[in-house]
Amino acid sequence: MALVTNVTSFGRSGLADFVLQRVSGVLLGLYGLCLAGFFAATPNVDHAALVGFLDSLTMKVFTTLAVVALAMHAWIGMWTVGTDYIRRHHFGRRHTVYLAAYQVVCLGAIFVYVLWPLSVVWQVSGS
């Protein structure tokens, strides 16, 4: 159990996870504001407008940071939920197996949710 609960925690310490979750939260908040500003200032949001928005190196880097922050934030949150609910009390002796399976599924989903937007963003070219 200790292997699954401690080794798979993101920062291996509660303090590191706590700080990472808050820093990533702030970054996501800023990115959200940026997106909100774009949607508010763009009367007709179509493909060309989105390409124009993401075309600059600054926005590509900012989006990459936001996606990585989202992945870290999500993993810390999902890890916490898993270690809260997938307990021996509810799942019996094999709870460690279920917890490991849950974590693999979460990691797989997060991996896809990182690769997919990044592959889209870095392929964007307005020229």
Partner 1 sequence: MKINIYRFDPDKDESPRMEEMEIDLPEGRDLMVLDVLELLKAKDPSIAYRRSCREGVCGSDGINMNGRNGLACITPISEAASRGKLTLRPLPGLPVVRDLVVDMTQFYRQYEKITPWLVNDTPPPAQERLQMPEDREKLNGLYECILCACCSTACPSFWWNPDKFVGPAGLLQAYRFLADSRDTATAERLAALEDPFSVFRCRGIMNCVSVCPKGLNPTRAIGKIRSMLLSQGI
Please report where in the chains the tokens 């509810």 appear, as a residue. 90
* CA–CA distance, 90 with 53 (Å, rounded to integer): 48
Which one-letter DSSP state was computed for residue 92?
G
Angle between helices 95-121 and 57-85 in degrees, nearest 10: 170
Counting Cβ atoms within 10 Å, is residue 72 exposed (0-12), middle (13-18) or buried (19+)? buried
Among 52, 80, 98, 113, binds partner 1 (CB under 8 A): 80
- Considering only 4, 17, 66, 69, the residue that binds partner 1 (CB under 8 A) is 17
User: Between residues 31 and 79, which has the closer beta carbon with respect to partner 1?
Assistant: 79
* Binding test (CB under 8 A) with partner 1, winner from 49, 50, 87, 98: 87
Given the rule CB under 8 A, which of 17-25, 40-48, 55-63, 112-120 is the region that contacts partner 1?
A: 17-25
| 6 lies in the binding site for partner 1 (CB under 8 A) | yes
Longest dimension (CA), the chain: 58
Interacting residue ranges for partner 1, rule: CB under 8 A: 5-6, 9, 12-15, 17-19, 80, 83-85, 87
